Amino acid sequence: MKSNVGKLIFWVVVSALVIGFVVAITGRAILPAAEAAPLTAGGAAGLPDVVFYALAAVTVAGAAGVALSRNILWSAIGLLAALLGVGGLYVMLSADFLAVTQLLIYIGGVLVLVLFAVMLTNRIVDVNVSNVSAGLYGGVLIFVATIPVLLTVALVTPWRLRAIGEAAYTTGLIGNALLTRWLLPFEVASLILLATLIGAVVTARKEIKAD
């Protein structure tokens, strides 16, 4: 066990390294590569923009709930909010089939599965880092290490946007794409699902102990 002074020195060194990394990456690699993209261009906010901001707020609040909740059930509810928000964002991005698939499979399948697992293994009470600052500070450090780089790349890069035409129903287009251009990944995905089925059943079986 490290002593308190050893731990403090460790965390100071790690923080300095992380901050140095963030500043170096942002200053040296990202900013010079970006031309001067006008950040203040754009029109006024219309109703779709208000809807986007509401959905984005729900999504990010849900994600924050997953990361920061003490109770695992509040994390599951936060995950529900995040998945719902992402489904709404898919609708804003005219991905209608994907939005419904997100709701059906992610919320109706994965989240229900996660809730099953939470309820079946619910013997842990203290599920997050407690008042010990090491874990919480490590989480903050990770957040600080990733967010500035990602935000800088997102906001500074001059993306080449295309002229967006009218939104079309994507179900037929996705179906055609899955059977023409993306046929091999489609077949591989079905193989993966078969392997997952077998693996999940075999892994979660209770061993019958021979007496």
Q: How many residues bind other proteins (CB under 8 A)?
A: 91
Site for other proteins in 45-74 (CB under 8 A): 45-46, 48-49, 52-53, 56, 59-60, 63-64, 66-67, 72
75 CB-near residues (< 8 Å, 6+ apart)? 65, 66, 69, 127
Residue with smaller CB distance to other proteins, 26 or 101: 101
Which member of 1, 161, 184, 208 binds other proteins (CB under 8 A)? 161
Q: Are 71 and 127 in contact (CB under 8 A)?
A: yes
Length of the chain: 211
Decide if residue 84 touches other proteins (CB under 8 A).
Answer: no
Residue with smaller CB distance to other proteins, 25 or 56: 56
Which member of 32, 160, 166, 209 binds other proteins (CB under 8 A)? 160
To which residue do tokens 């950040």 refer? 39
Which member of 40, 47, 131, 211 binds other proteins (CB under 8 A)? 40
Site for other proteins in 169-208 (CB under 8 A): 170, 173-174, 177-178, 181-182, 185, 189, 192-193, 196, 199-201, 203-204, 206-207
Residue with smaller CB distance to other proteins, 19 or 127: 127
- Residue 174, CA atoms < 13 Å, CB-side half-sphere: 12
Tell me how crowded residue 65 is: count the other CB atoms within 10 A of its CB. 19
Which member of 42, 131, 184, 209 binds other proteins (CB under 8 A)? 42
Least separation in angstroms between residue 4's CB and other proteins is: 21
Of 7-15, 17-25, 26-34, 106-114, the window that binds other proteins (rule: CB under 8 A) is 106-114
Q: Are 89 and 59 in contact (CB under 8 A)?
A: yes
Neighbour-count burial of 27, counting CB atoms closer than 10 A to its CB (0-12 exposed, 13-18 middle, 19+ buried): exposed
Of 5-13, 15-23, 24-32, 130-138, the window that binds other proteins (rule: CB under 8 A) is 130-138
For helices 47-68 and 72-92, the axis angle rounded to 10 degrees is 160
Residue with smaller CB distance to other proteins, 13 or 105: 105
Whole-angstrom distance, CA of residue 49 vs CA of residue 191: 41
Site for other proteins in 10-39 (CB under 8 A): 39
Of the candidates 99, 94, 86, 95, the residue with the CA atom closest to the CA atom of residue 58: 86
